[in-house]
Amino acid sequence: MGYDVVSCPFAAPLRLVAVDAAPGRTALALPVTPAVEGMPGTVHGTAIATLVDTVCWLAVSNVVDPGGDAVYTKDIHLRYLARVPMTVDRIVAEADLLTRAGRTAVAQAVVTDDTGTVYAHATAAFTRPRPTS
């Protein structure tokens, strides 16, 4: 992959950890630390949203644009199903490429903890820019 998302300046404070990566499938873990706390005792929703956007982007980009970084989020639908308590060690987002057509690709993701509790799921569409000549 041409872009090291784990050390990207925006995502770096989250300390995302690569768990699994294969063409069209990626998993990232988010350690639950005080840095991601929102409401007392709860992981902030934007930390979860960043995790989901990032893991979906990786699942798509390693197929659509291997070795590059020219894939951008076009649309994302994130459904929070339960609050993530600060008592879990980490949450893991697993994403799979669903479909690809032209310059657009769609991935789906699920966010769980190590016990299998589901906290959120999402679909996200990504696009490659039109070539310039």
Q: Any idea what DSSP says for residue 6?
A: G
Give start and end residues of each alpha helix (H) in 1-133. Answer: 45-64
SS3 71: coil
Token pair, residue 66, equals 């291997």
Side chain identity, residue 106: V
Q: Does residue 39 surpass a pLDDT of 60?
A: yes
Supply the pLDDT for residue 68.
Answer: 64
Dump pLDDT digits (tens) for 53-104.
999 999 998 788 766 668 889 999 999 999 999 999 999 999 999 999 988 9
Supply the pLDDT for residue 7.
Answer: 56
Token pair, residue 131, equals 């070539």
Nearest to 77 by CA among 112, 116, 39, 106: 106
Nearest to 91 by CA among 48, 41, 35, 42: 48
Supply the pLDDT for residue 56.
Answer: 94
Rounded CA-CA distance 40/45 in Å is 13
What average pLDDT is seen over the chain?
Answer: 89
Cα distance from N-terminal residue to C-terminal residue, the chain: 25
